Structure 1
């Protein structure tokens, strides 16, 4: 095992947004983007000055950590791994949900965590938890801080000292069982570090959520994450085969073997529990050999309905096994085209002319290349022969459903930029524009109705609020019975005083549409507090009572991330 990182070497977000301080979204090389921003949300990027956050202008409330607790934490993990710096406390008190980011940018620091603690082992985690229980403190496990559901944010009414337990020092692949295709991994490892360690041995876990660069294995398990390659590798509940959880009564262990659980599944109870049962310290995950060939191919359909038929046919095919399938509707395709950089080379200018010629041809065939045309991406992995065979089969399916093949060029660009979107949300907030997402899972038979009704709900709400808005959607995460719909919306808020009220009205209208049509409140963005208002409609009154009973029995003192998933 390599030397542990120090607490201050663990990767962390900037205090006011996503990722690194020196990485930002640029529009000066995307000529179509300012036009779209002006037309869709009424923002003139060239005439408005962005609002740049500055932590120094805010008063940071003092921590509430008693000396006795500080001494106990120091004894458990070492003084250098107990941090009470203001910036660290701010970072760890907010996830990356839009309400979190709005509040942190506004200096709304009514309740911050009181200390950030970095354990280096399961034993140190257990020692911290014992102290929490003895002193009646609150413990919030922290992975990468990428939660957009309020899962790491302390309750503003909480009076007890709050500890944020950052597992970022626990980041090693402990061992790989080559025969079983299983790897034991510490829970604090970030996605890129996990893949780097596995790739070095010729393996991959294949889990790539949008938050990949700033999320951890333990966080994926605790929130039931899903990655964009779930068509092949599965959701996190398929990938994680065994778990270790530090619990108030000891360590709960689930075995990474087929037929693992007898009776109700303890493993399934831990997955998605968001820190309310304890702290996940290790997971055994299934791993796969790296494919010799990986290619993403782009396709285009005349509209959403043709595209959904094509996606359904691919999902139901007995001969095609793609790594992922994705379909953008007309508005998202329009947005994607606005993100294309201005060509700066002869090759780029030739490609732009080819695209213009293609779109002119499609218009001559009756396609609406502005509002309806829907782009799709399909990823293939395997041997060269297998990939070529799969591509030929999908090409036939796409053609039989009215689509055309664009090729590998657009697919490669998508694959390179797939983790960059969160930086755009920060950029929009600089101009007082909200950009956020709602995701859901539904059956194939309900996807088109759900797609249409969500749009109706959003735009009706924006009309009532007297605000412009823009929404787009893509389909991803295909299953035998259905798929995930992932909606993105943006609008400028009218004032800081009304901003969150306007945001919750827009998001609430879309979320309510999901549950009204029998879809899930969220496909892979957890519950936390942001999706809690719909949890009973999602799992039923009896289901809610069962979950409350589970948490109450295992954490009667409400010391473990209280208030998340279900209210007390």
Structure 2
């Protein structure tokens, strides 16, 4: 904790003392050995101690430091090594591997902690006047390279951490709107709202370690977006500090005032300024909330059922379906069952076998409901009818309760696998329902072919979530069993194959993780060269000096091509 602002551990996800453990999950080690070839009985590697990390010296000039100290106070202009390292990377597998391997090229020269919008405005003007680089920082959970300075950057780089700006400022009870400072982390934000009977309803996987400003800057989606919408739907008004000015968008329900400036800020990743505050939609806490589990005989059936739910009268907060690969993985992470629970599970599987189901193709779904008791009851019945019409089976609350309890724990698995010799990451996309099956089939094939080409054992799995009228998100998780010197090159090869498959099969390159540097090489393929040029022109108009988080969203890299500048290789520009 620095100046009252909490950060994740520098070498991995979350906080010290919390992690994924497999000793109480008897099926997990055999599953990993079978699918990826990792023997979990071997002692894991330990992350390096911070003393082993070679931290590049700060380049902050005395002149600029004096200016910043005058603006913020000496306590809030931090040049200590640990703070600078924490603010260098996000939490992608590439970030964590390079951190563990002491591969640091360019890190921020200082970390600034403003207390309010006036201080943010003063920082932006001072940084632009000094022709330095400014990178906004929320919770540090980004996995697409939105936080890292360019490797060849020779200007002073500062990270602006908004962690002190974490309050719910006011709630408009009549409108159902809340003004919230951009640095508020998910748990703090919800706690403040809940005390007054409200919820924002936005719960991404990174909820415990991400901020409102970060959600807006990356166009985040939450687990309950089927009901509440994604952050683009939730955000109504916003304040953004730009060089020499402050953009103010009032929280209007709808407008017809030209191209949407609000949409320009959503997903801007710091390139159009620093988001200091947003006014968001909030909802009264529901009387009842329940997550139920369902089984489907195979993945194509599950996809069709999810599409049917989305087009029905049923109102759900989440409708998620895992493919057989992810379902098998989920079963492997269950704790040993005893007594009645064991016999109930065995009885369910016997019923399915009698129905003629191939249990190796079994797909598990989670669908959630909330509202009044009558509302929940009606919608549970509507979904039950759809599930049964598609040959599915209602399982009940047990697995749903477990899903709810563990929904924010998944990122810890990445550290667990890194300690044991595997690189695991995620890629997500969205496409029309008519394209989802082909996109899924071709992406699985592309990833497995890429793994074979780099001679790596690996595994890829998927779930559908975030349903819309016309389509849904497919969320892929993949891992390769490799921790050799060239693991990042092998990882890149697999990641590129997945991202290119998204584009080739009518999907988008990212549904809710943003663009950063990881996905920027595909922007012209995704939105057309004309669309990419419009983004370049917009950024140039707002930030002609290229001082605001340069290199993210659009850059000159191409998929699989090394980009050289000032005799330095930017690893981000060579990758997915």
Against the structure 1 CA distance between its residues 217 and 261, is the aligned structure 2 distance closer, same or farther, given a 3 Å change threshold?
farther
Most deviating of 487-496 and 128-137: 487-496
1:467 paired with 2:456, answer yes
Give the corresponding residue for 2:562.
Answer: none
Deviation digits for residues 415-462 of structure 1 (CA, Å, limit 9, x no counterpart): 110000000001101112011111000000011111111110011111
Partner Cα distance (2:483, 2:160) in 1: 37
> Quick check: 1:51–1:431 contact (8 Å CA) kept in 2?
no
Give the corresponding residue for 1:513.
Answer: 501
SS at the partner of 1:72? helix
SS at the partner of 1:8? coil
1:176 paired with 2:171, answer yes
Give the corresponding residue for 2:549.
Answer: 561
SS at the partner of 1:435? strand
Deviation digits for residues 305-353 of structure 1 (CA, Å, limit 9, x no counterpart): 1111111111000x2110110000100000000110123xxxx432122
Cα offset, 1:47, TM superposition: 2.2
Give the corresponding residue for 2:574.
Answer: none
Pairing partner for 1:377 from 352, 358, 366? 366
Give the corresponding residue for 1:198.
Answer: 193
Give the corresponding residue for 1:321.
Answer: 315
Instruction: For 1:401-550, list aligned pairs within 5 A.
Output: 401-493=390-482, 495-496=484-485, 498-550=486-538
Kindly tell me the number of residue pairs found equivalent between the two proteins.
Answer: 556
Partner Cα distance (1:98, 1:547) in 2: 28
> Quick check: 1:7–1:169 contact (8 Å CA) kept in 2?
no
> Quick check: 2:125–2:244 contact (8 Å CA) kept in 1?
no
1:363 paired with 2:358, answer no
Give the corresponding residue for 1:16.
Answer: 11
Partner Cα distance (1:99, 1:251) in 2: 35
> Quick check: 1:296–1:379 contact (8 Å CA) kept in 2?
yes
Deviation digits for residues 377-434 of structure 1 (CA, Å, limit 9, x no counterpart): 1110111111111111111110000100000111011011000000000110111201
Pairing partner for 1:107 from 90, 102, 119? 102
Aligned residues: CA RMSD: 1.1
Partner Cα distance (1:7, 1:390) in 2: 46
Partner Cα distance (1:181, 1:52) in 2: 46
Instruction: For 1:18-37, list aligned pairs within 5 A.
Output: 18-37=13-32
Most deviating of 52-61 and 73-82: 52-61
Instruction: For 1:166-315, list aligned pairs within 5 A.
Output: 166-260=161-255, 262-315=257-310
Give the corresponding residue for 2:137.
Answer: 142
> Quick check: 1:302–1:374 contact (8 Å CA) kept in 2?
yes
SS at the partner of 2:69? helix
1:342 paired with 2:336, answer yes
Instruction: Report the TM-score, using the length of structure 1 for normalisation.
Output: 0.97
Give the corresponding residue for 2:77.
Answer: 82
> Quick check: 2:423–2:483 contact (8 Å CA) kept in 1?
no
Partner Cα distance (1:520, 1:378) in 2: 25
> Quick check: 1:223–1:272 contact (8 Å CA) kept in 2?
yes
> Quick check: 1:187–1:217 contact (8 Å CA) kept in 2?
yes
Pairing partner for 1:330 from 324, 328, 347? 324
Instruction: Report the TM-score, using the length of structure 2 for normalisation.
Output: 0.95
> Quick check: 2:177–2:281 contact (8 Å CA) kept in 1?
yes
Cα offset, 1:7, TM superposition: 4.1
Cα offset, 1:134, TM superposition: 1.2
